Structure 1
Amino acid sequence: MVTVSLTATSPEDVTTVFDVLRTAFPTDRPARSVAQDQSGGRPSVWTAEFEPTEDRITTGPTALEGAVSATLQGGYVAVDRLRAALDGAFTVNEAGTASGDQEKEVDLRLLTKAD
């Protein structure tokens, strides 16, 4: 299981990223789940869990309105599989990593792939 947290983005981009991951892997999110901003002016964090399996549906490049900050946290193999799915849809820049015995955390910046 990998926990994915998205920040610094619009609800539309959150929905786009989660839709790409939902197409590729099983998730705890409903099929028609749409991200919504909370009132109050505070930064929002959207979170979902995905079960990256060996068999996944590959997605092609997908457009984003802006940059999306993503944090992936889970087992090494699972995080790598989920990141590979993101690489197929977006330009992925690694901002940092933290590793432990059983898990790792990766901070990414997702952008629309250039043609």
Structure 2
Amino acid sequence: MVTVSLTGASREDAATVFDVLRTAFPVDRPPDAVSREQPGDHPAVWSAEFVPTQERIPTGPTPLEGSLTATLQGGHVAVDQLCEALRAAFAVDEEGTASGDQEKEVDLCLGTKRP
């Protein structure tokens, strides 16, 4: 299982990223689940859990309104599978990685993939 947390994203961009991952992998909530922004000055953090499988449905380039940061946490192979799915849909810059024996954390900057 991989936990995906998005920051710096509008509600629409967060939904776009999660829709791409939901197409490729099962998710911890129903497709019609709506995230809500909390009132106040705190930046929104959007999160969901995904269970990657060897068989996934590939996705093509998907536009975003802006750029956002994605943090992926989970097992090494599972995180790599989600990163691969994100690279197929978005421009991805890896900003940092931390690895342990059992888990890996990756920080990515996602944007619209240019032709």
- Give your verdict on TM over 0.5: yes
Q: Distance in 1 between matches of 2:34 and 2:89?
A: 19
Q: Is the 8 A contact 1:14 1:35 kept in 2?
A: no
Identity %: 67
Paired position in structure 2 for 1:109: 109
Q: Summarize deviations over 1:31-71 as a string: whole Å, max 9, x none.
A: 11233322112111111000010000000000000001000
Paired position in structure 2 for 1:69: 69
Secondary structure of 1:95's counterpart equals strand
Q: Is the 8 A contact 1:15 1:33 kept in 2?
A: no
Query: Which residues of 2 match residues 22-61 of structure 1 at below 5 A?
Result: 22-61=22-61
Q: Distance in 2 between matches of 1:70 and 1:113?
A: 15
Note the residue ranges of structure 1 that are not aligned, 5 or more in a row.
Answer: none
The AA in structure 1 aligned to 2:8 is: A
Alignment size in residue pairs: 115
Note the residue ranges of structure 2 that are not aligned, 5 or more in a row.
Answer: none
Secondary structure of 1:48's counterpart equals strand
TM-score, L = length of structure 1: 0.97
TM-score, L = length of structure 2: 0.97
Q: Is the 8 A contact 1:3 1:73 kept in 2?
A: yes
Q: Distance in 2 between matches of 1:53 and 1:78?
A: 8
